[in-house]
């Protein structure tokens, strides 16, 4: 009886100096410092992405286990879809296929003609991107971010920066890749920007996500700009990430205020950004503009940053192909030191251009 008395004691009641270890406060300080350091490292450097990969791979079995009930529910639902519904769907699809086939017949002819014309003009062949089908696993678990997770990862040769589209338009861009899954930042996220063109008049601009409101904003366009409610915005393709001509959004609201020289233009994404099951992950097109900037890290807001440089590179290439006497000096953006006259008139002698350059302070 007496022998076992120390075993019957609650550990909680034993003297503090035996079980407590470090005091709670020193523990707290230690772990606070650790997490602050981790946050700083994660935000500023790239070291922790590997750790994230390992953990995510380790968590994958649990993730599969967790999503199993959902999967069963969906399967059962599909199984019990009524006969009537299937007949209706089949009828609708057949009609749609008839219409599409008629349109496709014209497309083949137009495609061939387009390719022919492009070779005549010595332009680039149109880029037809390859795509991988992905399935949406879940919407983000974090209510703050506009992120969805797909069931395709580095195993399936997905790389950060690839564009993600559904049958209606652009959904977003891959920003983080794990072994079996990848994260897509939606175009409505605050961090993402996308180069667009107004379909009606080919006006180029950049659209930025607005976060929670699920809309896009097109800032820095003057109030006099030719844009109307209902205008369709498509990708312009000059960033080298999104192929040209994909539908992005429809303009829903234009506000003009007296205080601002810019119009406030709000548009709504066309793709079902928040409600779809299957999406296409497009390969980044292999244009020369991309190859030269491949070693740069792809960040969610890369489009806007590299836009200027890629435009210059594409222009250079086109000029070289079209102009039999190319300019000796290549135009570079953001460098006021180079003389503007020298690049524009390569044949002119330096004596005539030097006095024209503004030397006065």
Partner 1 sequence: MKPVKFGTFLFTMLVGLIFQLYPWSDTGVIIRPDFLLVIMIYWVLQAPYHCNIGWVWFAGLLVDLSTGSLLGQHALTFAITAFLGLIYQRRLVLFNRWQLYLYVIFLFGVQRGLILLLKLFAGGELPDWTYSLPVVSDLILWQFMIIWFGELTRPKKL
Query: By the criterion CB under 8 A, which residues form the site for partner 1?
Result: 10-13, 19, 21, 24-25, 27-28, 31-32, 34-39, 41-43, 48, 51-52, 55-56, 59, 62-63, 65-67, 69-70, 137-145, 147, 149, 176, 183, 190, 211-212, 274
CB of 19 to partner 1, least distance (A): 6
Q: Indicate the Cα dihedral angle 223, 227, 232, 237, nearest 10°.
A: -70
Q: Angle at the Cα of 275 (from 272 to 277), degrees rounded to 5?
A: 105
Q: Quick one: CA dihedral 143, 147, 148, 149, positive or negative? A: negative
Q: Which is nearer to partner 1, 73 or 126 (CB)?
A: 73
Kindly provide the b/e burial profile for residues 258-283, where b requires at least 16 CB atoms within 10 angstroms of the residue's own CB: eeeeebebbbebbbebeeeeebbbbb
Task: Tell me how far, at minimum, the Cβ of 17 lies from partner 1, in Å.
Answer: 14
Q: Would you say 74 or 118 has its CB closer to partner 1?
A: 74
Task: Say how many C-beta atoms besides its own lie within 10 A of residue 327's C-beta.
Answer: 16
Whichever of 58 and 93 has its CB closer to partner 1, that residue is 58
Of the pair 4, 21, the CB lying nearest partner 1 is at 21
- The H-or-E segment that residue 247 falls in is strand 247-255
Percent of the chain as helix, strand, coil, to the nearest 5: 40, 20, 40
* CA 214 to chain CA mean position, Å: 15
Closer to partner 1 by CB, 211 or 219: give it.
Answer: 211
Closest to partner 1 by CB, 27 vs 116, is 27
CB of 141 to partner 1, least distance (A): 4
Whether 240 and 289 have beta carbons less than 8 Å apart is answered as: yes
* Contacts of residue 114, Cβ cutoff 8 Å, sequence gap at least 6: 126
**Nearer to partner 1 among residue 56 and residue 215 (C-beta):** 56
Closest distance to partner 1 from the beta carbon of 28 (Å): 4
Residue among 274, 253, 252, 254 nearest 263 (CA): 254
Minimum distance from residue 71 beta carbon to partner 1 (Å): 9
Nearer to partner 1, 45 or 347 (CB): 45
Closest distance of CB 282 from partner 1, Å = 22
What distance in Å separates the CA atoms of residue 301 and residue 298, rounded to the nearest whole number?
A: 8
| Nearest distance from C-beta of residue 34 to partner 1, angstroms | 8
CA distance 229 to 256: 13
Backbone conformation region of residue 316, classed left if phi is above 0, alpha if psi is from -120 to 50, else beta: alpha
CB 212, min distance to partner 1, A: 6
CB of 185 or CB of 235, closer to partner 1: 185
Separation between Cα atoms, residue 215 and residue 85, nearest integer Å: 34
Distance from C-alpha of 187 to C-alpha of 169, rounded to nearest angstrom: 11
For 264, the 3-state DSSP assignment is strand
Residue 349 CB, shortest distance to partner 1, in Å, is: 53
């Amino acid at each position: 009886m007496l022998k076992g008395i120390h075993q019957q004691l609650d550990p909680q009641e034993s003297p503090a100096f035996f079980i407590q270890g470090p005091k709670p406060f020193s523990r707290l300080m230690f772990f606070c410092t650790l997490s602050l350091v981790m946050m700083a490292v994660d935000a500023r450097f790239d070291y922790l992405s590997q750790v994230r990969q390992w953990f995510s791979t380790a968590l994958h079995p649990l993730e599969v286990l967790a999503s199993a009930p959902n999967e069963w529910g969906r399967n059962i639902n599909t199984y019990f879809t009524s006969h009537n519904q299937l007949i209706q769907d089949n009828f609708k699809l057949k009609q749609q296929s008839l219409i599409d086939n008629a349109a496709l017949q014209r497309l083949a002819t137009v495609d061939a003609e387009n390719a022919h014309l492009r070779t005549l003009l010595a332009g680039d062949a149109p880029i037809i991107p390859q795509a991988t089908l992905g399935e949406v696993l879940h919407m983000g678990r974090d209510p703050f971010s506009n992120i969805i997770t797909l069931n395709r990862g580095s195993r399936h040769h997905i790389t950060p920066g690839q564009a993600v589209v559904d049958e209606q338009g652009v959904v977003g861009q891959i920003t983080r890749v794990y072994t079996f899954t990848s994260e897509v930042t939606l175009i409505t996220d605050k961090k993402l920007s996308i180069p667009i063109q107004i379909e009606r008049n080919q006006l180029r601009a950049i659209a930025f996500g607005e976060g929670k409101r699920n809309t896009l904003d097109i800032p820095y366009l003057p109030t006099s700009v030719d844009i109307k409610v209902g205008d369709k915005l498509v990708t312009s393709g000059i960033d080298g990430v999104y192929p040209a001509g994909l539908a992005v959004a429809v303009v829903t609201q234009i506000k003009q205020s007296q205080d601002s020289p810019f119009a406030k233009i709000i548009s709504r994404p066309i793709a079902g950004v928040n409600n779809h099951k299957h999406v296409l992950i497009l390969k980044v097109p292999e244009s020369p503009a991309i190859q030269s900037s491949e070693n740069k890290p792809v960040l969610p807001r890369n489009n806007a940053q590299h836009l200027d440089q890629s435009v210059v590179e594409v222009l250079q290439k086109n000029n070289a192909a079209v102009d039999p006497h190319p300019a000796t000096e290549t135009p570079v953006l953001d460098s006021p030191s180079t003389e503007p006259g020298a690049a524009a008139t390569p044949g002119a002698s330096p004596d005539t251009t030097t006095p024209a350059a503004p030397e006065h302070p």
